[in-house]
């Protein structure tokens, strides 16, 4: 379930409380008059099932609550209440299948923003992947996969396309367009420095025979990207973080970037081009799969919304 904490002006509070009490899937409604100091207003709280959250939030926005006060949504891990169990039974659908669009937009907004932290993680991930390439160490390459933050902007692009949030799409594309070139330049500088210091000595990047799949583009390149993208979007909408780690380990984005840099450093431009192609295929495949998952969820949400409306009547 989700917990709603609402700050409402006194003139709107009766309407808010009435809407919450009448809504399917809402329980534990409380009101503390005059409790809010900034902005000034009443504090209203309630618990709502994920299946019914979109309709409730839509109704609150229609009352212009965010403009005059605030709506805070929190995830509840454990709720021991017969009333909550009844609310779950009353709301059509299952909580694990419900997408709370406001929650998803907020999450992707944060993850898709170009920041120093995002750039630092992406640079570190590419450096780790490059070390894995020159040492022929799949474990180190996997470390680079897990560290890479690129799935956030990719998910942001998918959400932006489905929800038509063009500002989110712009920021997501910017993060990738700046992040990957910068990370690859930093990785190239690191590789040249390591070679001058005598730490590494490579003449052929393809001798790392355990890492051939990173640059060898084939049918499974797209298949893995689509499967991983679908799994990643499902993990975000269902808050299954463990599944997202598996996605990071599956996709060949950061490793392909690191491989391309090392190949280019050695003048193996064909391998570098194939690695860059692998990177593009994975990026596109993840976004396409994410869009497909969200479209399916949106269709399911609309059916659930119609069921909620019929239940109310």
**Residue 74 phi, psi dihedral angles, 5° rounding:** -125, 145
Residues 118, 149 contacting (CB under 8 angstroms): yes
What residues have CB less than 8 Å from 85, skipping those under 6 apart? none
Strands 40-48 and 70-75, sheet pairing: unpaired
Cis peptide leading into residue 39 (ω within 30°) = yes
Tell me the pLDDT of the chain (313 aa) as tens digits.
899 999 999 889 999 999 999 998 999 999 999 999 999 999 999 999 988 888 899 999 999 999 989 999 998 888 999 999 999 888 877 776 678 888 888 888 888 889 999 999 999 999 998 888 888 788 888 888 888 899 899 999 999 999 999 899 999 999 999 999 999 999 999 988 888 887 777 776 766 666 666 777 778 888 888 998 898 888 888 766 656 666 666 677 888 898 888 888 888 888 889 889 999 999 999 999 999 999 988 887 777 666 655 655 5
Query: How many other CB atoms are there within 10 angstroms of residue 272's CB atom?
Result: 20
C-alpha distances (whole Å) from 211 to each of 159, 175, 275 are 32, 27, 11
pTM value is: 0.82
Kindly state the tokens that stand for 117: 């932290």
**Residue 170 phi, psi dihedral angles, 5° rounding:** -60, -45
Spatial distance between the Cα atoms of 77 and 3, rounded to a whole number of angstroms: 10
Residues 185, 265 contacting (CB under 8 angstroms): no
Residues 142, 249 contacting (CB under 8 angstroms): yes
Spatial distance between the Cα atoms of 208 and 222, rounded to a whole number of angstroms: 23
């Amino acid at each position: 379930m989700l917990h709603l904490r609402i700050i409402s002006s006194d003139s709107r509070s009766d309407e808010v409380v009435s809407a919450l009490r009448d809504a399917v899937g809402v329980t534990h409604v409380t009101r503390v008059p005059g409790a809010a100091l900034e902005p000034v207003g009443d504090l209203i709280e309630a618990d709502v099932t994920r299946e019914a959250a979109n309709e409730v939030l839509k109704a609150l926005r229609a009352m212009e609550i965010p403009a005059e006060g605030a709506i805070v949504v929190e995830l509840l891990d454990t709720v021991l209440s017969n009333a909550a169990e009844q609310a779950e039974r009353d709301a059509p659908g299952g909580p694990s299948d419900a997408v709370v669009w406001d929650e998803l937009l907020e999450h992707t907004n944060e993850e898709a923003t170009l920041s120093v932290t995002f750039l630092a993680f992406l640079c570190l991930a590419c450096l780790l992947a490059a070390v894995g390439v020159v040492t022929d160490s799949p474990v180190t390459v996997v470390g680079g996969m897990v560290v890479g933050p690129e799935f956030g902007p990719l998910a942001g692009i998918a959400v932006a396309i489905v929800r038509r949030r063009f500002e989110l799409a712009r920021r997501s594309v910017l993060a990738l367009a700046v992040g990957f070139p910068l990370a690859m330049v930093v990785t190239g500088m690191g590789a040249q420095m390591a070679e001058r210091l005598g730490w590494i000595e490579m003449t052929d990047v393809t001798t790392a025979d355990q890492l051939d799949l990173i640059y060898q583009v084939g049918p499974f390149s797209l298949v893995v990207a689509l499967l991983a993208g679908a799994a990643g979007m499902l993990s975000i909408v269902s808050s299954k973080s463990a599944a997202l780690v598996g996605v990071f380990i599956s996709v060949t984005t950061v490793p392909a970037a690191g491989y391309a840099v090392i190949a280019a450093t050695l003048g193996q431009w064909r391998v570098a081009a194939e690695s860059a192609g692998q990177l593009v295929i994975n990026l596109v495949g993840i976004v396409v799969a994410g869009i497909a998952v969200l479209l399916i969820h949106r269709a399911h949400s609309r059916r659930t919304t119609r069921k909620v409306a019929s239940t109310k009547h």
